Amino acid sequence: MKKEIAIIGGGASGFLTAITAKKNGKDVVILERKDRVLKKVLTTGNGRCNLTNVNASNRNYFGIEKMKQPIEKILESFTSQDAMRFFEDEVGIICNEENRGKVYPLSGQAASIVDGLRFYTQSLGIEIITDFYVTKIEKEMFDFKIISEDKRQIIAKKVVLATGGKSYPELGSNGSGYELAKCFGHTVTELTPVIVQLKAEKEKIKGLKGIKSDVEITAFGENRNGEKEKICTYDGELLFTDFGISGNVVFNISYVFPIYKNVEFEIDFMPKFTYNEIFEILKKRRTILKDFTMEQFFNGVVNKKLGQFLTKSAGIEKLSKSINELTDNEIRKICTTLKKYRIKIIDTNGFKAAQVTAGGIPLSEVNLENLESKKVKNLYFAGEILDVYGECGGFNLQWAWTSGYFLGKNL
């Protein structure tokens, strides 16, 4: 089989590349290694598909290699508003904006996006070949020979690597695209899982598994110059696990891990109250609960087990201590523990649990006017395989749509 353009990877960026190129009169084929396309899209947003974010801009994206300005033109070519118009006017999906600018299909089902895109590509006459695991690409004089694991071959004038990263490998993105790119002389920046659970110091989480709490977390870390700095603050639900921390607030803030060293989180367990307000609340509790022990001090304030843990963390080892014996200084220490509980982040929970991969093909090796390789003519990249990743909240799918559209228009 001979095609003008072969797109390797049947994910979000591959589909937008194919759709845009086909509408521009190009002959395209999508090659997907799994038995179905868009499998990763099906799992996004807890199965609801957070397809974009109305606030998406340059500031929401990062890279291992410095890259802030270069992608601005790409992002502006297909904004979140363009994405919503595309899905509503062409695919037939009604978009629904929720908190913090997150956009979902009104149906609340990621399957709506997957089915809509599949039906739309069929209507355009785009050929999709599944179970085609590309293991080798050979550059011939004017064409590429694409060879599958079972030795099938496809000839194409242009090749797009839209293979994703290494996150959720069972859904298709197993990192094979990086190896294909390396065969053409490309390098790959350090790969790190993001939008992922994090491993923390065991003594700071011991016995807290399963406890949930609405918190505010501020991240601190060493920047590329080795300087310690405050990075960002997010609020949301925190979940303690046997290895560290999870929950939506952790997913939101995990983007800092690849670009900062010695990351430490400062957790505020009572973000609705100031330090002074908590001090007055706890002093009042000392009076109200004077006949009880410290074991009951946090009852009705935070999770009981968490409260007992934080009491000990504040230096009060014996929970049998009478609440009436609490000094103002001890209450101040408890307030500090409640408002500024520090946890050092040791590692992520790995690619199998991650939604996104940070790192990839450096933008310095790609022509940012059309996403073509600077090393091999007619080789292109789209989506997560590039060294670009976004915050949690629809920004990474927006990058997939944007880069796919931008590339498809310029093929």
User: How large is the C-alpha radius of gyration of the chain?
Assistant: 25
Calpha distance 21→1 (Å, rounded): 19
What is the H or E stretch that residue 219 is in? strand 212-222
* 3-state SS, residue 180: helix
Residues in contact with 109: Cβ distance below 8 Å, sequence separation at least 6, in sequence order? 47, 48, 49
What is the H or E stretch that residue 334 is in? helix 328-339
Q: How far is CA 162 from the centre of its chain?
A: 17
Burial of 276 per CB tally in 10 Å (0-12, 13-18, 19+): exposed
pLDDT tens series, the chain, 411 aa: 899 999 999 999 999 999 999 999 999 999 999 999 999 999 998 899 999 999 999 999 999 887 656 899 999 999 999 999 999 999 999 999 999 999 999 999 999 999 999 999 999 999 999 999 999 999 998 999 999 999 999 999 999 999 999 998 888 789 999 999 999 999 999 999 999 999 999 999 999 999 999 999 999 999 888 899 999 999 999 999 999 999 999 999 999 999 999 999 999 999 999 999 999 999 999 999 999 999 999 999 999 999 999 999 999 999 999 999 999 999 999 999 999 999 999 999 999 989 999 999 999 999 999 999 999 999 999 999 999 999 999 999 999 999 999 999 999
Calpha distance 304→315 (Å, rounded): 17
* 3-state SS, residue 106: coil
Taking residue 196's Cβ as centre, other Cβ atoms within 10 Å add up to 27
